Amino acid sequence: MLAELWRYWTTFAPERVRKFGYLQRLIALEFRAKRCAAAWEPHIRRCRNIIIKVADLCAKQKTCVILGSGLLLEVPLSALASRFEVVYLVDIFHMPSVRAEAKKHFNVKLLTGDITGVFQAIKERKAPGPHQPAPPPRIPHLKDADYIVSCNCLTQLAGPFTQYFEKERGFSDLDSDKVAFQVMEKHAHALAHEAAGVALLITDVERYVMAGDKIVTRTDLLKAFKLPDTPTHIHNEEWEWAIAPAPEEDPMRDIEHVVEAKVYLRLTEEEKKAAEEAGAEGEPPSLDDRFADAGSAPAADAPEGS
């Protein structure tokens, strides 16, 4: 705790990054990742592997955009930098360690900004709420990137805003859930239907509190939102993430998240027909029985040099 507090006060960050809790979240993530390194390793490996696998599906490899680059835990930066002419790392704030890593690659650029569009809406006095829908997302290079990855940020996008609105505007839990639903829906829709190139959406979708092998509670992290269908299930993946093994959050219980990786390819009509026929021959892989049974119980504000 003292180390995290020291890091917080010694890290330079803009006012809104502190005010909305982004810096605190990043530092907490950094220290938890160290404490839970062994438990997180399979998740991180799965993320990096599918990011590389889908990168190799791109017909062109000129521009790659990573949304929610965070601490680069799940981002295989060297592999992407060797494949694409330019790689953009996009986040609301880039920690010093990320800036240092980006400088190792001449073709990696940092973009700092809010991809939800909410900050701009607040500035225009159109903040989302009970009577004001969430704004359209502001995703850089949405219309020209060959590859866009939303990297484990979908369920985190609205949190800083809704927590602030609960304090400053008296938001109820229902108000917050509605805003979160809309922010996630618009982000996912943009990737699935508006991106010019290949899009990969990696997100946690469910949270389980476990007492041994028994599920104690289950939480829908998507607030009842359903991720858009992909043209084919062939490349999609799903896995479990031991995000907080005991005693990280609970002295006796483990916390596990279910993660889905959805691949949105741009198929020709012939490819779509072939994909539909292939999909009819078999269902996509499911989770193990334990979790399967549980169901019943825009651009960025400003570029920075690399």
CA distance 206 to 222: 8
pLDDT tens digit string along 32-42? 999 999 999 99
The answer to whether residue 288 scores a pLDDT higher than 60 is no
Pairing state of beta strands 198-211 and 86-91?
A: unpaired
pLDDT number for residue 1: 76
The residue range of the domain holding 146 is: 2-297+300-304
pLDDT number for residue 275: 56
CA distance 262 to 232: 10
CA distance 81 to 188: 25
Q: Name the phi and psi angles at 223, rounded to 5.
A: 55, 40
Report the number of distinct structural domains present in the chain: 1
pLDDT tens digit string along 221-242? 999 999 999 998 999 999 999 9
| Radius of gyration (C-alpha) of the chain in whole angstroms | 19
CA distance 157 to 147: 20
- Could you give the count of Cα atoms lying within 13 Å of 72 in the half-sphere of its Cβ? 19
**What CATH number is associated with residue 133?**
3.40.50
pLDDT tens digit string along 51-89? 999 999 999 999 999 999 999 999 999 999 999 999 999
- State CA 229 to chain mean position distance: 17
Does the pTM exceed 0.85?
A: yes
